[in-house]
Amino acid sequence: MGKKEEFLDQLIELINTAIRELEEEGLSPDILLAGSEFLKYSLDIIEGLSLSVYEIKELGNDAIIADSKYIGQLKKASRRISIEPLLQEEEWEEILKNLPEIED
């Protein structure tokens, strides 16, 4: 599995976990508010979800999955997720890969 596929798998798991948590609370997540950077990496994935998607540039690498009936009324009606940790992990892997070998 390539890096892109691994990244997308982790992103799918992140989104599905947030949806599942909201459903366990008795809510019906139906919207995704996403930053520009989040959309850049996830557009292929979120097109297949049954969520209305709105771009909020200020969210950057983050997205909010929510039940639109209760957003703003109940704190538990939404989950904020971020791709920032996934991007940082990818950057570190690239840095480590490019480090020279150290001989004893």
Q: What is the pLDDT along the chain (104 residues), one digit of tens a residue?
A: 567 788 788 888 999 999 999 999 999 999 999 999 999 888 888 888 889 999 999 999 999 999 999 877 777 889 999 988 877 766 545 554 555 666 65
State pLDDT tens for residues 34-56: 999 999 888 888 888 889 999 99
Instruction: Give the strand pairing for 52-55 and 31-34.
Output: parallel
Residue 87 structure tokens: 């991007």
> Which DSSP string corresponds to 25-80?
TT----EEEE-HHHHHHHHHHHTTSS-EEEE-GGGTTEEEEE-TTTTTT-GGGEEE
